[in-house]
């Protein structure tokens, strides 16, 4: 992975439907070069898919983080139980005050409450639950991951 690959990824992150011609023009290389590089990055696993960013609040959906403290070493069995709940998009294993962080989507605070009380807290190994409802996403440096890969560092 070199600087050109990273620049291609930056452009695709902003618009995964950007044409090869536009990417080539922006980066000053041929369309064939862009095509080969994208194909290689897909094959090597640097690109694992393409997605659409939606306005969830317009769709009547709210997003929250549910932070779980799991007792003992039962994390994998808890994850298997959590997979049954369609409201959960991602589960993150974490180090810190919690064992797992779930990213969830619900239609209302009431349905979030029902998810926690009626489903999550029925799992015996879960000792503590904290919830944060996400209001707004503020991008500070959406390229922080690329900056780490390319060796670019932020000075203080």
Q: In sequence order, what DSSP letters do the residues of 63-90 get, joined into one string?
A: EEEEEEEE-TT-HHHHHHHHTT-TTEEE
Which among 3, 4, 2, 13 has a CA at the least distance from the CA of 143?
13
CA–CA distance, 120 with 114 (Å, rounded to integer): 9
pLDDT band at 152 (very low <50, low <70, confident <90, very high): low
Residues 120 and 68 in one domain: yes
> Is 133 in contact with 112 (CB distance < 8 Å)?
yes
Residues 12 and 62 in one domain: no
Mean pLDDT of all residues in 99-118: 96
Per-residue confidence (pLDDT) for residue 156, from 0 to 100: 42
Residues 43 and 61 in one domain: no
Per-residue confidence (pLDDT) for residue 89, from 0 to 100: 96
CB atoms within 10 A of CB 73: 9
Per-residue confidence (pLDDT) for residue 37, from 0 to 100: 97
Mean pLDDT of all residues in 149-153: 68
Strand 62-70, strand 126-134: pairing = antiparallel
Residues 62 and 130 in one domain: yes
pLDDT of 57 strictly over 80: no
pLDDT in tens, 111-150: 999 999 999 999 999 999 999 999 988 888 888 888 887 7
In a domain, 144, yes or no: no
Mean pLDDT of all residues in 53-66: 87
Residues 98 and 117 in one domain: yes
In a domain, 142, yes or no: no
Residues 62 and 122 in one domain: yes
Counting the structural domains of the chain, the total is 2
pLDDT of 56 strictly over 90: no
pLDDT band at 73 (very low <50, low <70, confident <90, very high): confident
Residues 87 and 18 in one domain: no
Which among 119, 47, 55, 56 has a CA at the least distance from the CA of 82?
119
CATH of the domain at 16: 1.10.10.10
Per-residue confidence (pLDDT) for residue 126, from 0 to 100: 94
Residues 126 and 74 in one domain: yes
Could you tell me the residue range of the domain that residue 30 belongs to? 3-51
Residues 62 and 125 in one domain: yes
In a domain, 148, yes or no: no
């Amino acid at each position: 992975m070199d600087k050109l690959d990273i620049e291609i990824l930056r452009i695709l992150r902003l618009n995964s439907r950007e044409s090869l011609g536009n990417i080539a023009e922006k980066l000053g290389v041929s369309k064939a070069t862009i095509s080969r590089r994208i194909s290689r990055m897909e094959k090597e696993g640097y690109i694992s898919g393409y997605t659409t960013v939606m306005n969830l609040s317009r769709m009547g959906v709210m997003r929250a983080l549910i932070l779980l403290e799991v007792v003992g070493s039962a994390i994998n069995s808890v994850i298997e139980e959590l997979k049954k709940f369609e409201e959960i998009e991602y589960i993150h294993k974490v180090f810190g005050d919690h064992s797992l962080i779930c990213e969830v989507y619900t239609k209302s605070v009431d349905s979030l409450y029902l998810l926690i009380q009626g489903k999550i807290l029925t799992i015996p190994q879960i000792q503590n639950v904290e919830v944060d409802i996400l209001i707004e996403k503020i991008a500070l440096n959406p390229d922080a991951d690329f900056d780490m890969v390319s060796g670019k560092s932020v000075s203080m």
